[in-house]
């Protein structure tokens, strides 16, 4: 299986994890370990940057796992940029997952503010990973702004509805010059496998694992699904047909003299 490179880092695992919603931090640590993930995101607002013994940060000290602070809670570019700068100082990472959702109900990303923040942050050396709608034009605009990846949603965040935006995701993958990470809505391992089969570079999963009865077992299921999906993509999936093609009734005449 090919590795995935984003900015200066190379990943063996194409499964990224979110760390919210777990009932126990130990459960979260165990799920991250079992998933084989090498990139996990956590909400900056949950971390006490003033304390050197923050529970969440402690629980995320896992070998080979990179931290991806996110700006969840930010309502506009200005707030997100401020949060990213604080994260860079406190956590010594220039990676940031941009989450700008002024709407607290469905947590839908604000495309205008996200583009603005990406421009500002990329200019000062951040590795920007923006959470966005499955909007192919926005993806190209973000590329121009210097984004490291694009992270379109498969369905509303936390909805576990799968790849409702499939047609748009396919356009994005077809056109993208940066890795495409499917970020939200992936509810079952089969959704993750499907995303990988159609050519996503990685998927990010949170709710489906955190809220499972057995998060560790679910993390393993996602790990295997992502590997299976990626292998299938690399092997080249056979094309599917809507109707059976038993012979060539329209072109057979060419064979007859």
Partner 1 sequence: MQSFENTFHQYSWTFVHDRIYSVRKADVQRSLHKTKKTIDDFLVLLSPAASDSLEEMAQLTQQLTQKRFGKTIQLYAPLYLSNECQNICTYCGFSMDNQIKRRTLSSIEIMQEAAALKAMGVNHVLLVSGEANKTVGIDYFLKAIKLLRPHFAHISIEVQPLSREEYEAVHQAGVHAVLVYQETYHEEVYKRYHPKGKKSNFAFRLDTPDRIGQAGLHKIGLGVLLGLEDWRVDSFFNALHIDYLQKTYWQTKYSVSFPRLRPAEGIIEPNFIMEDRDLLQLICAYRIWNADLEISISTRENEKFRNHIISLGATTMSAASKTNPGGYVVDPQSLEQFETSDERSMDEVRKVIYQKGYEPVMKDWDTYW
Applying CB under 8 A, does 158 fall inside the site for partner 1? yes
Q: How many CB atoms within 10 Å of residue 246?
A: 6
Classify burial at 52, counting beta carbons within 10 Å of its beta carbon; exposed 0-12, middle 13-18, buried 19 or more: exposed
Answer yes or no whether residue 202 interacts with partner 1 by CB under 8 A. no
From the DSSP assignment, how many helices (H) and strands (E) are in the chain?
9, 10
Min CB(136)–partner 1 separation in Å: 26
Closest CB 69 distance from partner 1, rounded Å: 12
Nearest Cα neighbor of 194 from 236, 158, 166, 153 is 166
- When asked if residue 210 is in the footprint of partner 1 (CB under 8 A), the reply is yes
- Under the binding rule (CB under 8 A), the answer on residue 73 touching partner 1 is yes
Find the shortest distance in angstroms from Cβ 118 to partner 1. 19
CA distance 239 to 117: 40
Within residues 23-52, the interface with partner 1 by CB under 8 A covers 23-25, 43-49
| Residue 125 makes contact with partner 1 by CB under 8 A | no
Nearer to partner 1, 158 or 229 (CB): 158
Q: Which helix (H) or strand (E) holds 138?
A: helix 136-145
Q: Does the annotation mark 45 as catalytic? A: no
Strands 127-132 and 151-152, by their bridges, are parallel
Residue from the set 160, 165, 176, 216 that interacts with partner 1 by CB under 8 A: 160
Q: Which is nearer to partner 1, 165 or 207 (CB)?
A: 207
Told to check if 161 binds partner 1 by CB under 8 A, we report no
Determine the Cα–Cα distance for residues 227 and 29; give it in Å rounded to an integer: 21
Which residue in the list 97, 116, 194, 223 is annotated as catalytic? 97
Output 80 or 196, the one with its CB closest to partner 1: 80
Exposure class string for 114-140: b at 16+ Cβ within 10 A, else e: bbbbbbbbbeeebbbbbbbbbbbebbb
227 binds partner 1 (CB under 8 A): no
Of these, 9, 62, 66, 75, which contacts partner 1 (CB under 8 A)? 75
Binding footprint of partner 1, residue count (CB under 8 A): 30
Element (H, E) at 84: helix 77-91
Task: Report CA-CA distances (Å) from 161 to 63, 131, 148, 191.
Answer: 32, 17, 26, 9
CB 76 within 8 A of CB 100: yes
Q: Which stretch binds partner 1 (CB under 8 A): 91-99, 171-179, 204-212, 243-251?
A: 204-212
- Active site residues per annotation: 97
- What residues line the site for partner 1 (CB under 8 A)? 20-25, 43-49, 73-75, 79, 82-83, 86, 102-106, 158, 160, 207, 210-211
């Amino acid at each position: 299986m090919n590795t995935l490179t984003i900015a200066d880092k190379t990943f063996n695992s194409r499964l990224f994890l979110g760390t919210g919603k777990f009932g126990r931090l130990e459960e979260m640590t165990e799920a991250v370990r079992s998933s084989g993930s090498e990139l996990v995101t956590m909400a900056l607002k949950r971390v006490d940057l003033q304390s050197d013994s923050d529970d969440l940060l402690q629980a995320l000290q896992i070998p080979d796992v990179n931290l991806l602070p996110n700006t969840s809670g930010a309502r506009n570019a200005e707030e997100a940029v401020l949060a990213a700068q604080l994260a860079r100082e406190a956590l010594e990472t220039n990676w940031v997952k941009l989450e700008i959702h002024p709407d607290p109900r469905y947590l839908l990303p604000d495309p205008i503010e996200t583009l603005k923040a990406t421009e500002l942050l990329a200019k000062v050396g951040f590795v920007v990973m923006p959470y966005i709608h499955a909007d192919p034009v926005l993806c190209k605009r973000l590329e121009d702004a210097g984004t490291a990846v694009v992270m379109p949603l498969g369905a509303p965040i936390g909805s576990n509805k799968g790849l409702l935006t499939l047609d748009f995701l396919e356009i994005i993958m077809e056109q993208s010059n940066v890795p495409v990470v499917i970020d939200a809505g992936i509810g079952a391992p089969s959704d993750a496998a499907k995303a990988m089969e159609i050519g996503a570079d990685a998927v990010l999963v949170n709710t489906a694992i955190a809220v499972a009865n057995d998060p560790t077992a679910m993390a393993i299921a996602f790990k295997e699904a992502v590997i299976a999906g990626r292998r299938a993509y690399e092997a080249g999936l056979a094309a599917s047909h809507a109707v059976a093609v038993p012979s060539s009734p329209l072109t057979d005449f060419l064979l007859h003299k």
